[in-house]
Amino acid sequence: MAAAVRDVRSRHPELDDAMGGGAGGGGFTWDILCDLYQVFFADMVGEFLRSVVAEQVRAFLTRPSRAVLHTSPLPDALMDTTDTPGPGTTPTEPSMAAADVPEIGTDIRVRVLDRGTGGRYKVKALSPPVKVPLVLTVRHGSTPPRPGEKLDCWVFAQERNHCLLTTDQRGRQPISAKMAERYLAALGVFDELTADGVALPENARERLSELKGMANRVLRRDQTDWVDVRRVLGSPDRQRLNLLRDLAAETNRALKDDSLDVSRLRENLARTDWSPSLAQARETLQHRMTTLTEPTAETTPTPSAPQPEQEATEPMASAEDTAVTTPSATNLLHTLETTAAADRTCKKHEAVRHALMSALFEADEQATSSQVVDVSRTAEDGDFLYEILGAGHSAYIDLRSGAARLLEINHTLAAPADRLYLVLTEPPAEDWSAETLLAVYGVHLLWRTHLGWAGRDKDAALGSAQP
């Protein structure tokens, strides 16, 4: 290029001044140099730079110590088109898509390996042998396991890359006789709504709410029988459970608005393919109930203690009916009735009790009361029991006494409530009392304010929590 410039200058000396650049800098010499670079060298240099950058980027992306999330395919220039697998391409952990992923509710004995993050621990299966990754979750406040410790766990959830285990046995209780009757009615509600020449059942909305509650129990995993409910429904995944929940909720709203389209309901049932599953679930539950009740009907009374299966099949009764079986229970029931009658002489107590029932009715919940129970409700999210304390009883010593009475009331019921609520006419005197009451007694706290209601689980207590 330099020789070419000298040749031009020798043939055209009149261009020396122009090519000298003058005061402006650059000048004609610079223009010629740029043109010559564009013609002879630009493509070569650009290609060289692109190849160097591409090689460095590809080496970085395939480095085994890096974890890179590719949201779109890599360009062809960065792809390794050889048949030899690059570093990090060999799978190091079993896939969760394998057929041997343990079912939810499966018992597994494990050995703790190391502590992870967020209260989770890496564990190894001892029996039965499990090839998929396992992670143990520990409830807040529980004693953390030590590395090397052996524990009996069960599969709580199947997450994307591992199975989640727990030692907490809550959620694995079998379906009670009381809930089985409600579930049976709920499982058959769609058949009755879509049958030809059959009038709409009067309790269809209640049964639809129960069916939605069955799906929510499994989705939320927060009730005592959610694992058994999941098995009865055929162990569906979360997507199918969401379809069932939404279908029950939409049908319930249509009945409320008197706008039910039976043809559309049939189409939705066919589209979601839930009709066969609900029929199978009802048959399974009906067979279980028949199996439990037959021995009770054929066996004559004996002095021996009743078996748990026999106790579970006793017909549902009120608190008064179930509490008079022994003299001590009769005395407890009488004491609770006397205390409740005395509490209801307080106008503030009664104002809050009726306000609570009104709030539940507004939330489309069925609130009830009795001579012992201030307020109770049964809905898709379980059985709730409420005890109201009168005016001036907001100190922790009052809350502790009220929690003990609430536990006694729950003890008299045929089927214990899923949640217990102590309701105050004013905010608690101590800020720490609500957390302490829940941690020690398992009792939630709700109180009345000038603007309405307050408390940690206010929405759930008032039946207004959304799934």
Taking residues 165-179, report their average pLDDT: 87
Cα 227–Cα 443–Cα 142 angle in degrees, nearest 5: 60
Residue 331: is its pLDDT beyond 50?
A: yes
pLDDT value for 458: 87
Instruction: State the pLDDT confidence band at 117, using cuts at 50, 70 and 90.
Output: confident
pLDDT value for 333: 81
Most confident of 99-108, 173-182, 316-325, 412-421: 173-182
Whether this prediction's pTM lies above 0.75 is answered by no
pLDDT value for 328: 62
Instruction: State the pLDDT confidence band at 432, using cuts at 50, 70 and 90.
Output: very high
pLDDT value for 131: 85
Taking residues 49-73, report their average pLDDT: 58
pLDDT value for 93: 40
Instruction: State the pLDDT confidence band at 97, using cuts at 50, 70 and 90.
Output: low
CA-CA distance, 228 to 437, in Å (whole number)? 30
Sign of the dihedral defined by the CA atoms of residues 380, 385, 388, 389, in that order = negative
- Using H for helix, E for strand and C for coil, what is the string for the chain? CHHHHHHHHHHCHHHHHHHHCHHHCCHHHHHHHHHHHHHHCHHHHHHHHHHHHHHHHHHHHCCCCCCCCCCCCCCHHHCCCCCCCCCCCCCCCCCCCCCCCCCCCCEEEEEEEEECCCCEEEEEEEECCCCCCEEEECCCCCCCCCCCCEEEEEEEEECCCCEEEECCCCCCCCCCHHHHHHHHHHHCHHHHHHCCCCCCCCCHHHHHHHHHHHHHHHHHCCCCCHHHHHHHCCCCCHHHHHHHHHHHHHHHHHHHCCCCCHHHHHHHHHHHCCHHHHHHHHHHHHHHHHHHHHHHHHCCCCCCCCCHHHHHCCCCCCHHHHHCCCHHHHHHHHHHHHHHHHHCCCHHHHHHHHHHHHHHHHCCCCEECCCCCCEEEEECCEEEEEEECCCCCCCHHHHHHHHHHHHHHHHHCCCCCCEEEEEECCCCCCCCHHHHHHHHHCCEEEEEECCEEECCCHHHHCCCCCC
pLDDT value for 178: 86
Sign of the dihedral defined by the CA atoms of residues 10, 11, 15, 21, in that order = negative
pLDDT value for 312: 36
pLDDT tens-digit readout, 278-316: 999 999 998 888 876 655 444 444 444 444 443 333 333
pLDDT value for 23: 45
Taking residues 105-117, report their average pLDDT: 89
Instruction: State the pLDDT confidence band at 248, using cuts at 50, 70 and 90.
Output: very high
pLDDT value for 70: 47
